[in-house]
Amino acid sequence: MTLLSVKNLYVFIEDKQVDLLGPISFSLELGENLTIMGETGAGKSLIAQAILGSLPTGLKSRGDILLKGEAIDNLSPKKRAALWGDIITALPQEPWLSLDPLMRSGQQVAETHRYFKSYNWKEAKKQTEQQFKKLDLSDTAQKRPFQLSGGMAQRVAFAAATAGDAELLLADEPTKGLDSHRHDKILSLLKAIPQKGDSLLTITHDLDLAYALGGKIIILKNGKIVEEGITHTVLSSPKASYTQALCAANPSSWPPLSSCTISSKENILVQSEKLRIGRNKIAFIKGLDFCLKAGESLAISGPSGIGKTSLLDTIIGSIKPMGGTLTRAEHIGKWEIQKLYQDPPTAFPPLISLKDNFKAVTKKHKMAWDQLLQLLENVELDASILERRPSNVSGGELQRLSFIRALIAKPKILLADEPTSRLDLITQETCLNLLKKLCREENIGIILVTHNQHIAEKWAHNHIDLNQFCV
Amino acid sequence: MYKKLIAALLKRGLQALIVALIVGLVSFAMMQALPGDAAFRIAAGRYGYDLMDAAAAEAVRQELGLDRHWSLQLFDWLKALAQFNLGESFIYRGSVSEKIAVQLGHTLTLSLSALFVSILIAFPIGIYTGLNPNGWADKFFLQLSIFVRAIPPFAVGLTLVLIFSVHLKLFPVAGFRSFHHLILPAFTLGIGMAAVSNRVIRDSVLEAMHSDWQLFSRIKGLPSGLTLRAHVLRNAALPSVTYIGVQMAYLIEGVVIIETLFAWPGIGHALIHAIFGRDIAMVQGTALTLGLIYVGLNLVIDFLCSFIDPRSAKS
């Protein structure tokens, strides 16, 4: 039975009558599984929001959305919302922000059980307990969101979203920012949905997730469908050039790194011996030896919570090593270690135009405006982009801008903390290659933190797997 | 948990001590700075202007030691304070603490009623306008709030008296004999506070309604009413209650004026009279008590906040 069918769906800006997306058509049977892949910032999430009826103000959709054969696109917002939890549910993109910060996580799930099945509190709590047990969350019920890790918050959100036994689950970027262990965990949860007869619509730029989920796939570029079909067929023998590029950009299919050329003992920027790292007197990492030279790249990989960020903080000097030695070259000044952040939008003040932001930074570090324009050209950005605010710039562009912002300070060391984990595969590859090229040209030593083993092995000159140094 | 409680009490206790010192010093300094002969005014306060003369003023000066150096007078007051003794009133018979004990009850009745009135007005308006932003009600209450807040409390009080006492004859003009007497002063203070706090509540509700967790609560299936009750209001209450804490200063300041206006026999009323009569002991005692009420109300707000938001208590 067809659960959801979408015909000629467009999403557009109401005032300007500009289409952001469309035409999109697909159908989803009960027990089926559909994945939508495409660029970051291309409006993939808008499809999920259009189906839910939760488009941001100012955006509207047209075209038909049929749920169980009945049109829902012209229902009142109130009637649309009545479908939520009962027939359609969604896994939020930002699980942490999607849980009530003041309420215990068990309660947030239990209230859904209580509401849907008119259980009393005792019964609802029992149901929640069973669900938490299945999700490995047994001792989480009493905790509040700020006490949960990202992976735990996601599973709590999963439990809450599925408590009403809705037939359709929309999962928007479910693996964003998760390490491989948590990646597998959420994968198995998602896989179980079609298996028990419900339908799953996943929106992602994670090729490995799409492949593992199977089912059907739609590839989007510029808001239009460029290819669709059975996931395994499409991804193993892509026809559209965009799909081919997408598959080639997956780190697992990157070519291995050509032999590195830096071997001289000179230009050592930072070096450690038997380094022991921790916070609040608890050590995470021990016996770590590494060395970073000018123009060289070093990748650090390991699961979330192993101490990657603490290692970066130790290199910056904001936390002291608990043992061993860490030597920074003496000529490295205060501004000459710069950091790139995981989530580009949070690294820019939202209400200040990019131009003002860059003016301040160039003034601080005494760089001529022309030089900045040259840098922009190097990363293939038009100078007109500076007229906009951060929210009107795509994630890939913003991350390139943050590279430049770091370069203005003329750093000797660049620390990049998962700089591309929120970008689509092609943008990720472009960004990382660009980063490597810039560092090579400017003779900057770069440390990249990633939880993608493939990137760590194929991108950097040296690779440290923190699993081997775990306490 | 108990550690946190004790730490909070210690913090406010220390604050109370500092407030006591500063209020004592400042009010003493201000009384000293006033022109004219204090002994003369005190004698007039005791016996009436017609029944006093220079000799009576001199007797008062000797009795109260007003001719001593100011530092000695201050030292005496501080020494007595350290023994929890606020001294004797310069004008009336009896100790300052006895008088304040009676007035404190009246002041607390008025302050808490005003607080209650402000909450009763601000929350429904703030929640409604927060849920319907930019509607006619939102715009109307924004203008009204600015208008009301721009008027000083005594003018609000006088306006209420003119309308409800003089014209409509619904409530008494002043006094404190019955519940009826409480209504106008409580509303005068409460309206002033609600004028600002309803906007703070409106913004908090609006922000909560735009949060990811609000949307997710709906998407997981909870209806809007339940989402509002279980999630939105609690989260919005946090900044609102914190702001009401900030308003305590306005409340204390307002109490002094409004008590005087409505002849409400509380501490504020007593403070004004003590200033006119140069009753230094009374001024210091009442000002000190008002300062301590401020600290005490803030302590209550602290506990309310950590009850609403357990994060601050545990982190």
The residues facing A230 across adjacent strands are A216
pLDDT beyond 50 at A407: yes
pLDDT digits (tens, 9 = 90+) for A128-143: 888 888 888 888 888 8
Whether residues B280 and B132 share a domain: the answer is yes
CA of B303 to nearest chain A CA: how many angstroms apart? 16
- State whether residue A463 is helix, strand or coil: strand
CA distance B61 to B176: 35
For residues A291 and B75, give the distance between their C-alpha atoms in angstroms, rounded to a whole number. 68
Q: Do A163 and B223 touch (CB under 8 A)?
A: no
pLDDT band of B118, cuts 50, 70, 90: very high
Distance from chain centroid for Cα A9: 26
Q: Is residue B286 located within the same domain as residue B211?
A: yes
Q: What is the pLDDT of residue B298?
A: 85
Same-domain status, B138 and B202: yes
Residue A64, chain B, CB below 8 Å: the answer is no
DSSP A84-119: BTTTEEEE-SSHHHHS-TTS-HHHHHHHHHHHHH--
What single letter denotes the amino acid at residue B264? W
* CA–CA separation, B249 and B161 (whole Å): 24
Give the three-state DSSP class for A26.
strand
Long-range Cβ contacts of A349-354 (<8 Å, 24+ apart): A349/A390, A350/A389, A350/A390, A350/A391, A351/A389, A352/A389, A353/A386, A353/A387, A353/A388, A353/A389, A354/A385, A354/A386, A354/A387, A354/A388, A354/A389, A354/A390, A354/A393, A354/A401
Best CA proximity match to A452, nearest among A233, A206, A263 = A206
Burial class (CB in 10 A: 0-12, 13-18, 19+), B154: middle
Report the side by side order of strands in the sheet with A88-91. Answer: A88-91, A168-172, A199-204, A33-38, A216-221, A224-230
pLDDT score, position B314: 45
Contact B110, B186 (CB under 8 A): yes
Pairing of strands A168-172, A88-91: parallel
Instruction: Kindly state whether residues B91 and B102 are assigned to the same domain.
Output: no
Kindly tell me if the per-residue pLDDT of B174 is higher than 70. Answer: yes
Indicate the pLDDT class of residue B312, thresholds 50, 70 and 90: low
Pair B122, B261 in one domain = yes
Residue B2 covered by a domain: no
The pairing of beta strand A323-328 with beta strand A268-279: antiparallel
Report if residue B9 sits inside a domain: no
**Could you tell me which residues of chain B have a Cβ less than 8 Å from any Cβ in chain A?**
211-213, 215-224, 226, 230-231, 234-235, 238, 308-311, 315
Looking at CA atoms only, how far is residue A54 from chain B in angstroms? 8
CB B230 within 8 A of CB A111: yes
- The letter for the amino acid at B139 is K
Nearest to A142 by CA among B5, B215, B310, B212: B310
Residues A313/A268, Cβ–Cβ less than 8 Å:
no
Boundary-marking domain end, from B31, B64, B95: B95
- Partners of A35 in beta bridges: A202, A217
According to DSSP, the residues that pair with A268 across neighbouring strands are: A293
Percent of chain B with pLDDT over 70: 98
Res. A264 pLDDT band, cuts 50 70 90: low
In this structure, the answer to whether residues B87 and B110 fall within a common structural domain is no
Asked if the structure places residue B5 within a domain, the reply is no
Measured CA angle at B218 (ends A76, A119), to 5 deg: 115
Which chain B residues are within 8 Å of A52, Cβ to Cβ? 219
- At residue A134, φ and ψ (nearest 5 deg) are -65, -30
The arithmetic mean of pLDDT across residues A205-226, rounded, is 89
- Give the ranges where B161-279 is alpha helix by DSSP (H): 179-209, 212-219, 224-227, 233-246, 248-261, 267-277
Of the three residues B62, B78, B95, the one that is the final residue of a domain is: B95
Question: What are phi and psi for residue A5, nearest 5 degrees?
Answer: -135, 130
Q: Cβ of A112 under 8 Å from any chain B Cβ?
A: yes
B48 and B118, same domain (yes or no):
no
| Model pLDDT for residues B182-227, shown as the tens digit of each residue | 889 999 999 999 999 999 999 999 999 999 899 999 999 898 898 9
Polymer length in residues for chain B: 315
For residue A56, cis peptide bond before it (omega within 30 degrees of 0): no
End-to-end Cα separation, chain B, in angstroms:
11
pLDDT in tens, A459-469: 888 888 888 88
Contact B222 A86 (CB under 8 A): no
Residues in chain A: 471
pLDDT score for B315: 39
Question: Are A287 and A464 contacting, i.e. CB atoms less than 8 angstroms apart?
Answer: no
H helices, E strands: number in chain A: 16, 18
Higher pLDDT, B219 or A305: B219
| B212 with A92: Cβ contact below 8 A | yes
Give the HSE-up count for residue B225: Cα atoms under 13 Å, Cβ half-sphere: 1
Please list every residue in chain B whose beta carbon sits closer than 8 Å to the beta carbon of residue A103: 230-231, 234
The secondary structure of residue B52, as a DSSP letter, is -
For residue A56, count other CB atoms closer than 10 A to its CB. Answer: 8
Instruction: Give the pairing type, strands A337-340 and A88-91.
Output: unpaired
Rounded to an integer, what distance in angstroms lies between the CA atom of residue B85 and that of residue B240? 38
The token pair that represents B111 in the structure block? 């302050």
Residue B156 shares a structural domain with residue B65: no
Residue B44 inside a domain? The answer is: yes
How many Å lie between the alpha carbon of B232 and the closest alpha carbon of chain A?
9
Last residue of a domain, one of B69, B95, B121: B95
Tell me the CATH number at B178: 1.10.3720.10
Cα–Cα dist A267/A41, whole Å: 40
Q: What is the pLDDT of residue B141?
A: 96
Put simply, the answer to whether A85 touches B221 (Cβ < 8 Å) is yes
Q: Mind listing the domains of chain A with CATH numbers?
A: 2-253 (3.40.50.300), 268-469 (3.40.50.300)
* Touching B: A residues 389-408, CB under 8 Å: none
Fill in the DSSP letter of residue A338.
E
Nearest-CA distance A102 → chain B (Å): 6
Residue spans of beta strands (DSSP E) within chain B: none
For the cut 50, the answer to whether the pLDDT of residue A245 exceeds it is: yes
Residue B21, in any domain of the structure: yes
Pair B179, B171: CB distance under 8 Å = no
**Chain A interface mutation, best of B220, B242, B306, highest count of A Cβ atoms under 10 Å:** B220
Please give the angle made by the CA atoms of A358, A361 and A364, to the nearest 5 degrees: 150
The domain in which residue B70 lies consists of 16-95
What does the mean pLDDT of chain B come to? 87
> Contact A425/A207 with Cβ under 8 angstroms?
yes
Distance, CA of B217 to CA of B220 (rounded, Å): 5
Give the pLDDT mean for B63-79.
82
User: Do B112 and B49 belong to one domain?
Assistant: no
Q: What is the DSSP string of A111-180?
A: HHHHHHH---HHHHHHHHHHHHHHTT-GGGTT--GGGS-HHHHHHHHHHHHHTT--SEEEEESTTTT--H
Angle at alpha carbon of residue A187, lines to A183 and A189, rounded to 5°: 125
**Which of these, A58, A61, A55, A70, lies nearest to A3 by C-alpha position?**
A70
Q: Are A450 and A311 in contact (CB under 8 A)?
A: no
ipTM of the complex: 0.78
Mean pLDDT of A380-405: 83
B215 & B112 share domain: yes
The string of pLDDT tens digits covering residues B258-305 is 999 998 888 999 999 888 888 888 888 888 888 888 888 888 888 888
Query: Residue B30 pLDDT more than 50?
Result: yes
In this structure, are residues B273 and B254 in contact, taking their beta carbons and an 8 Å threshold?
Answer: no
Give φ, ψ of A227 to 5 degrees: -160, 145
- Interface contact flag, A99 B215, Cβ < 8 Å: no
For chain A, what is the largest distance between any 2 Cα atoms, rounded to a whole number of angstroms?
A: 71
- Do residue A85 and residue B238 have CB atoms under 8 angstroms apart? no
Which residue in B213, B219, B223 is closest to A100 by CB distance? B213
Residue type at B169 in one-letter notation: K
Smallest CA–CA distance from A159 into chain B, residue = B220
Residue B223: its chain A contacts at CB < 8 A?
Answer: 81, 115
Which secondary structure element, helix H or strand E, spans residue A8, and what is its range? strand A2-13
Are residues B267 and B243 part of one domain?
yes
Same domain, B186 and B199: yes
Q: CA-to-CA distance for B207 and A376, rounded, in angstroms?
A: 36
> How many contacts, defined by CB atoms under 8 Å, are there between A and B?
79
Percentage of the residues of chain A whose pLDDT score is greater than 70: 97
Whose CA is closest to A438, among A335, A357, A340? A340
Beta bridge partners of A1: none
pLDDT of residue A139: 82
In a domain, B6, yes or no: no
Q: What is the pLDDT of residues B6-17, one digit of tens each?
A: 887 888 889 888
pLDDT at site A34 = 94
| DSSP for residue B231 | I
Q: Are strands A33-38 and A199-204 parallel, antiparallel or unpaired?
A: parallel
Q: Whose CA is closest to A290, among A279, A301, A300?
A: A300
Q: How many domains does chain B have?
A: 2
| Amino acid B24: pLDDT | 85
Is the pLDDT assigned to residue B252 strictly greater than 90?
A: no
User: What integer pLDDT is reported at residue A19 of this predicted model?
Assistant: 85
Average pLDDT over residues B47-51: 78
CB count within 10 Å of CB B108 equals: 16
Ranges assigned E (strand) in A173-281:
199-204, 216-221, 224-230, 268-279
Contact between A443 and A268 under an 8 Å Cβ cutoff? The reply is no
Amino acid at A12: F
Residue B305 backbone phi and psi in degrees, to 5: -65, -45
